[in-house]
């Protein structure tokens, strides 16, 4: 089952430094400690000084069988479907997280400001340190597909499974209200809060509350927990996920603000995952502790049987099947990457093309929003030509524009500047997870298009770099003509009112603000208009798309 990496891939994907690490800012440690110790401590104090509160579940005794009873097939099905997809989503999410193993509360993505990190690395100050070098190894036992910087494949798993997870959740919620099953989950009185607290005091002090028999009723804490998972964690995971999309964020600037900003949305997305994990742990433990055989008959077969082991056995079989699928997913990830990529294209790329890819970015940031930190990414050009030009400040640089155009041109920086200039302040979204806000100044791509007059059948614009991709070969990427024509798509020679630095892409780089960072080619050598992305490289639309299974449309 060990993947066959090429030597170049292995050096990056399976590095010698695979140390695991968890570091948290003291204020976050204190917050967590206060939360956990505080809640448990107060429960214990109440118990010690005032005794055990009345058990609210005893209201259900003798057994009340009014209201919803039993578990219809759709509850049981959606429960296990949910479990299956949640495992895939969490595991692929962890692989995505470890590609930028730091979480922040503000847009800076400044390493000193992170509240948690999963890397022992302190950013070296004396050399270029890129976000890609900063990515961390994660064991494939935990992550899907695991290893290091496998975000392309991880995202495919994440985005292919999320629609099923959401659809399953939506059908579940619909049927909940279509039938009377909602009464089990949705609290109708604030009494649930003190009741749930009293149940919590029981659990915390190891005085198990009476079992109201989940076939008819959940106890107050259980009901509140299930309600929270279905109606808070699920939707919050979806909404914070959307808040990381460049197409959405740069079109609707208010949207990520609902969660603070893009980075706090990412942090909340992570905390929701942690909450899911804690829930699963406690849920499974209590299911086991309060009558495993009977509970499994409830949720698997929908019968209230205390004797038969059928439910338990089938439940175990479903868990084993999920584990078996994890092995299969691992195999697919390392042997059938292209098939995965094609699947992603036919499902999600199609979806994005007709929805969020149509959004036009609007720049609504001001000078004061510019972030003091902006990660570097990519591989500095090693080409002698570029290095020589850099020595003379790119005075003899010529941008070559050709392909399917009526009027191919070669333009120096001076000539580009004479055509026109636009400045705007926007947020950059890297696929790995970090973001930064900067001012970019340069020539709108629409002016270039006007000048060179592309053939009507040219739908794709390719940008080639002086730099190479991670595993060697020219770095390039493509955009739809449509995205190039949007207002904030520019060939930039200026960043934060200064000439572009060598690291950030001198002399010329691309900005297309509804896309992720990897589409914004730095150190541009030439531009070519082509009919389709299939005409270049391996045919997937860019160096990362070809070699790392990234998406052609990077709207999310």
Ligand X SMILES: Nc1nc2c(c(=O)[nH]1)N[C@H]1C(S)=C(S)[C@@H](COP(=O)(O)O)O[C@H]1N2
Binding site for ligand X (CB under 6 A): 374-379, 430, 465, 467, 475, 504-505, 517-518, 520-523
437 binds, among ligand X, Mo ion, none (CB under 5 to 8 A by kind): none
Q: Compare residues 230 and 520 and give the one whose CB is closer to ligand X.
A: 520
**145 near Mo ion, rule: CB under 5 A:** no
Q: Are 138 and 95 in contact (CB under 8 A)?
A: yes
Contact in structure between 520 and 478 (CB atoms under 8 Å): no
Nearer to ligand X, 276 or 374 (CB): 374
- Binding partner of residue 522 among ligand X, Mo ion, none, CB cut-off 5 to 8 Å per kind: ligand X
Which of the residues 156 through 175 are near Mo ion (CB under 5 A)? none
Helix (H) / strand (E) containing 326: helix 310-335
Residue 486 binding partner per list Mo ion, ligand X, none, with a CB distance cut-off of 5 to 8 Å that depends on partner kind:
none
Site for Mo ion in 256-295 (CB under 5 A): none
* Per-residue interface string for the shown chain with Mo ion, residues 404-443, x marking contact by CB under 5 A: --------------------------xx------------
Question: Minimum CB separation from ligand X for residue 171, in Å?
Answer: 37
Q: What's the closest the beta carbon of residue 129 comes to Mo ion, in angstroms?
A: 14
DSSP letter, residue 215: T
Least spacing, CB of residue 129 vs ligand X, in Å: 11
**What is d(CA 387, CA 384) in angstroms, rounded to the nearest whole number?**
5
* Residues in contact with 529: Cβ distance below 8 Å, sequence separation at least 6, in sequence order: 401, 402, 403, 404, 405, 452, 454, 455, 458, 460, 461, 462, 481
| Interatomic CA distance for residues 298 and 281, integer angstroms | 19
- Tell whether residue 225 is a contact of Mo ion (CB under 5 A): no
Question: 104 contacts which partner out of ligand X, Mo ion, none, CB within 5 to 8 A by kind?
Answer: none
Distance of closest approach, residue 541 Cβ to Mo ion, in angstroms:
15
**Pairing assessment for the beta strands 399-403 and 524-530 based on DSSP bridges:** parallel
The partner in contact with residue 376, picked from Mo ion, ligand X, none with C-beta cut-offs of 5 to 8 angstroms by kind, is ligand X
Residue 469 to residues 90, 160, 378: CA-CA distances in angstroms? 29, 26, 7
Q: Give dist(CA 262, CA 257) in Å, integer.
A: 7
102-115: burial string, b at 16+ Cβ within 10 Å, e else: bbbbebbbbbeebb
Binding mask 328-367 for Mo ion (x = CB under 5 A): ----------------------------------------
Nearer to ligand X, 345 or 379 (CB): 379
User: From CA 497, how far away is CA 499, in angstroms rounded?
Assistant: 7
Q: Chain-centre distance of CA 282, in angstroms? A: 25
Q: Could you say which residues in the range 471-530 bind Mo ion, by CB under 5 A?
A: 517-518
Provide the minimum distance between the beta carbon of 10 and ligand X in the complex, in angstroms, as a whole number.
19
Output 412 or 474, the one with its CB closest to Mo ion.
474
Stretch that binds Mo ion, among 179-187, 311-319, 377-385, 532-540 (CB under 5 A): 377-385
Of the listed pieces 27-35, 282-290, 375-383, 492-500, which binds Mo ion according to CB under 5 A? 375-383
CB of 87 to Mo ion, least distance (A): 27
Greatest extent of the chain over all pairs of C-alpha atoms, in Å = 90
Q: Which is nearer to ligand X, 220 or 430 (CB)?
A: 430
**Residue 136: both structure tokens together:** 């961390």
CA-nearest of 213, 219, 225 to 71 is 213
Q: How far is the CB of 532 from ligand X (least distance, A)?
A: 22
Q: Which helix (H) or strand (E) covers residue 272, if one does?
A: helix 262-289
Q: Are 359 and 440 in contact (CB under 8 A)?
A: no
Are 429 and 131 in contact by the 8 Å Cβ rule? The answer is: no
Q: Considering CB under 5 A, how many residues would be counted as binding Mo ion? A: 5
Q: Closest distance between ligand X and the C-beta of residue 131, in Å?
A: 7
Binding partner at 514 among Mo ion, ligand X, none, C-beta below 5 to 8 Å by kind: none
* 53 contact, one of Mo ion, ligand X, none, CB 5-8 Å limit per kind: none
Closer Cβ to ligand X, 55 or 99, answer by number: 99
What are the tokens at 297? Answer: 């008959």
User: Which residues lie near Mo ion (CB under 5 A)?
Assistant: 377, 430-431, 517-518
């Amino acid at each position: 089952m060990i993947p066959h990496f090429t030597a170049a891939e292995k050096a990056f994907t399976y590095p010698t430094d695979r140390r695991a690490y968890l570091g948290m800012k003291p204020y976050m440690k204190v917050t967590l400690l206060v939360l956990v110790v505080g809640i448990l401590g107060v429960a214990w104090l109440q118990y010690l000084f005032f005794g055990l509160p009345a058990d609210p579940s005893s209201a259900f005794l003798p057994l009340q069988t009014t209201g919803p009873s039993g578990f219809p097939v759709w509850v049981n099905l959606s429960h296990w479907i949910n479990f299956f997809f949640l495992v895939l989503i969490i595991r692929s999410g962890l692989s995505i997280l470890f590609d930028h193993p730091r979480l922040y509360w503000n847009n800076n993505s400044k390493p000193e400001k992170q509240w948690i990190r999963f890397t022992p690395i302190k950013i070296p100050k004396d050399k270029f340190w890129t976000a890609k070098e900063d990515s961390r190894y994660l064991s494939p036992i935990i992550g899907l597909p695991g290893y290091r910087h496998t975000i392309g494949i991880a995202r495919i798993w994440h985005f292919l499974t999320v629609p099923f997870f959401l659809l399953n959740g939506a059908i579940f919620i619909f049927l909940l209200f279509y039938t009377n099953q909602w009464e089990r989950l949705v609290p109708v009185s604030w009494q649930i809060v003190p009741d749930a607290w009293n149940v919590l005091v029981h659990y915390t002090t190891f005085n198990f509350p009476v079992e109201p028999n989940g076939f008819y009723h959940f106890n107050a804490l259980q009901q509140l927990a299930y309600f929270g998972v279905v109606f808070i964690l699920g939707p919050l995971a979806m909404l914070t996920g959307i808040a990381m999309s460049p197409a959405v964020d740069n079109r609707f600037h208010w949207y990520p603000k609902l969660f603070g900003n893009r980075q706090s949305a990412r942090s909340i997305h992570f905390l929701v995952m942690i909450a899911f994990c804690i829930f699963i742990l406690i849920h499974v433990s209590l299911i086991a502790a309060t009558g495993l055989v009977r509970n499994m008959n409830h949720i698997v077969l929908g019968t209230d049987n205390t004797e038969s082991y059928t439910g338990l056995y089938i439940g175990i079989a479903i868990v084993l099947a999920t584990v078996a699928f994890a092995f299969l997913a691992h195999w697919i990830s390392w042997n059938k990457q292209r098939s995965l990529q094609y699947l992603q294209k036919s499902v999600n790329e199609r979806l994005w093309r007709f929805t969020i890819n149509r959004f036009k970015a609007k720049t609504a940031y001001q000078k004061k929003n510019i972030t003091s930190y902006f990660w570097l990414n990519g591989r500095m050009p090693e080409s002698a030509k570029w290095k020589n030009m850099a020595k003379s400040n790119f005075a003899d640089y010529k941008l070559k524009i050709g392909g399917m155009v009526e009027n191919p041109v070669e333009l120096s920086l001076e000539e580009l500047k004479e055509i026109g200039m636009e400045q705007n302040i926007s947020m950059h979204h890297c696929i790995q997870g970090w973001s930064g806000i900067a001012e970019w100044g340069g020539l709108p791509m629409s002016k270039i298009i006007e000048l060179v007059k592309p053939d009507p059948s040219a739908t794709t614009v390719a940008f080639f770099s002086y730099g190479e991709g991670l595993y060697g070969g020219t770095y390039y990427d493509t955009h739809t003509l449509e995205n190039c024509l949007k207002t904030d798509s520019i060939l930039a020679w200026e960043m934060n009112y200064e000439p572009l630095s060598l690291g950030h892409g001198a002399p010329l780089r691309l900005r297309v603000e509804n896309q992720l960072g990897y589409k914004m080619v730095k150190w541009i050598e030439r531009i070519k208009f082509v009919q389709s992305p299939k005409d270049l490289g391996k045919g997937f639309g860019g160096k990362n798309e070809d070699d790392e299974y990234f998406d052609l449309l990077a709207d999310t």
